[in-house]
């Protein structure tokens, strides 16, 4: 059984998007027979790399799925946050040799568009599960 960590970015200008993404993530884990061994909630997408790193260090986590939503505001701040989070999560995955999937919707997206993309919660879990099942995490498999 694949053991997953889940990072949930809570900042949500549009209300129910994160709740729906989290529900989709849990359903996808159940459907794939994966176990969500830990869920860490963080204030926003910018905060996800540290939480993902802490989960990736755990011996009982084979892969990490990250979910969140970045909705466009009046400035380019959404783009800055998305770029920083994506780079940080990529760094965690490569440094820890642990799959870390990016199920963050946005940037440059309206609240209505965010509501239409809540299935990204499931896609992040499905991808993490598949990577872990395919042996992407060589460091843990050799222990």
The catalytic site residues sit at: 77
Q: What is the DSSP letter of 75?
A: S
Round to whole Å and give the CA distance between 77 and 6: 25
What CA dihedral angle connects 84, 41, 25 and 94, to 10 degrees? Answer: 40
Task: Please say whether the beta carbons of 46 and 81 come within 8 A.
Answer: yes
Task: Please say whether the beta carbons of 115 and 71 come within 8 A.
Answer: no
């Amino acid at each position: 059984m694949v053991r997953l960590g889940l990072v949930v970015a809570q900042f949500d200008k549009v209300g129910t998007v994160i709740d729906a993404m989290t529900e989709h993530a849990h359903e996808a884990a159940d459907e794939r027979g994966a176990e969500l061994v830990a869920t860490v909630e963080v204030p926003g997408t910018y905060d996800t790399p540290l939480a993902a790193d802490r989960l990736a260090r755990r011996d009982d986590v084979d892969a990490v799925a990250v979910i969140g939503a970045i909705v466009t505001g009046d400035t380019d701040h959404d783009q800055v946050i998305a770029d920083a989070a994506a780079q940080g999560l990529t760094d965690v995955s490569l440094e820890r040799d642990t799959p870390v999937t990016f199920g963050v919707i946005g940037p440059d997206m309206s609240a209505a568009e965010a509501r239409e993309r809540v299935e990204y919660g499931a896609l992040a879990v499905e991808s993490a599960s598949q990577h872990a099942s395919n042996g992407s995490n060589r460091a843990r498999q050799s222990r």
